[in-house]
Amino acid sequence: MLVNTIFNKAILSAAVLSASAFSANVFAAKASSSLNCVTINNDLAQIEKFKQAGTYRFTKGGVQRINFDFASNKPFQDYLAAARAHINAQNPKANMPCPISTPTSKRLYADKPLQVVDLIAPFELKADNEKAAVLLIHGLTDSPYLFHDLANSFVEQGISVRTLLLPGHGTAAEALVDIDQADWRQAASYAIKSMLNDFDNVYLGGFSTGGALVVDYLNRNTLNESELQKLKGVMLWSPASEAKAGMAWAAKYVSWFTDYLDEAADIDFAKYESFPANAGAQVHALMKRIEPKKLKGLRNTPFFVVASEVDQTIETDATVNILARWHAQNGAAQAQDKLVYYYANNVEDQLNTLPSSLKTITTFSCEGQVYCERVLDIAHTSPTNASSNPHYGWQGSYRNCEHLTGTDLFASCKTTSSPTLGELTEENLQATPNLQRLTFNPYYEQMLEQMLGFIASTLK
């Protein structure tokens, strides 16, 4: 019965897809004339209309690939120009005004009035008195905006920054319906090779899926002596290791019958809210490539990893297993490995599979801020954003309430003056039905201190 239902839905979806996309684009053109990326969050009735119409779920003019050859060795600036042109051509919100000002956007655009494209496009920031450079790769359905806080922190420390926009991202969720993880791997390969060619001291960083791509590249590619000398370390936040959902493997088969597991309003300018089934299938295939038993090439590559025990997107135990295997292979680099671990229960029980030689940071404090009493624990979506982030922070313009879409609690989550935030655990949702998923790190400054310490130790 379930298969028949999904199959019938797929047939219906195929029959109306073109009409829906056309209607959505017409609606988007009308809506965008009076909205910006902040005010779009305010009208709940309009949000529901966007969801039903798929206003921002579909690309402009049908899905097109970026006009850039990732197999080439073209300059990174050529890639940045191609990516920006691709966003402008495909993203229905690309030219929507976006009065979101971050330290990184100020470095990139000074006081120029911003549009969505300015905030989600990949970028490069050159540091004064440069001592190193870092490549940052975002996660599934995300965009480089996720690194605006970290990028500024890096540049302040003399570390230049490059970010990558993964294929299928930065436009509309429709672009992930037919994507293949091989496309992501090819783009990551181009960006990593470009880093190792252009800089003398290199760090590779990734959030979630971006982290898996970094690990996969290093595990399956043999770096030459010069590249090994240049690569100083890896930094990962909530790295994708294994899906929390036990049925993640089934996403491949579900994608044969329906395009989307979730159809949302997609009002978050920096991340898709709709979730194509194929996206889940592709990240599952990527994570299978980095199972602990397959990790044989991660030698002498020190790592800095940030993970949460209660992560409801990724199975943190699997991450811990990968780190244990990696640490064991790291030889002389073992002394520099570091894990920042946010836990909610008995940390000793959670970390008993890790070697004692791995430096693990588990003590954090939040004091003097209103949100300290409102945050229950650390979500998958939290680590890279500061509490001051104007979009995802404590007083940010966007609230992550997508888990409550279609319920009466959605409005309460979006509008309450005293939100409770945390990860979407069963315990949290039972205690706080209108829970807002946490999208910032209340311990950001402490995490940053540990990260900069890691960099200082590996640059010696």
- Tell whether 286 and 377 lie within a shared domain: no
Tokens of 178: 């037919």
Which candidate, 171, 129, 165, 130, places its Cα nearest to that of 147?
A: 165
Q: How many domains does the chain have?
A: 2
- Tell whether 69 and 196 lie within a shared domain: yes
d(CA 195, CA 204): 9
Residues 345-393 pLDDT 10s: 766 666 677 888 999 999 899 999 999 999 999 999 999 999 999 999 9
Q: Which residues of 53-81 are buried (b: 16+ CB within 10 A; e: fewer)?
A: bbbbbbbbeebeebebebeeeeebeebbe
β 202-207/260-262 pair status? unpaired
pLDDT score of 344: 79
DSSP three-state, residue 104: helix
- Tell whether 54 and 195 lie within a shared domain: yes
Which candidate, 345, 271, 346, 342, places its Cα nearest to that of 305?
A: 342
Residues 164-184 pLDDT 10s: 999 999 999 999 999 999 999
When pLDDT is averaged across residues 410-427 and rounded to a whole number, the result is 97
- Tell whether 285 and 391 lie within a shared domain: no
- Tell whether 284 and 378 lie within a shared domain: no
- Tell whether 44 and 137 lie within a shared domain: yes
- Tell whether 374 and 285 lie within a shared domain: no
Q: Which amino acid is at 117?
A: V
Q: Report DSSP state, residue 383.
A: T
Mean pLDDT of the chain: 91
Residue 137 CB burial class (10 angstroms; 0-12, 13-18, ≥19): buried
pLDDT score of 256: 56
The confidence band for 109, taking pLDDT boundaries of 50, 70 and 90, is: very high
CA dihedral 107, 90, 64, 249 (to 10 degrees): 80
pLDDT score of 236: 99
pLDDT score of 394: 98
pTM of this prediction?
0.92
CA dihedral 337, 343, 346, 347 (to 10 degrees): 10
Range of the domain at 153: 2-290
Domain boundary among 290, 312, 342: 290
β 202-207/231-237 pair status? parallel
Residues 244-272 pLDDT 10s: 865 454 555 455 557 899 999 999 999 99
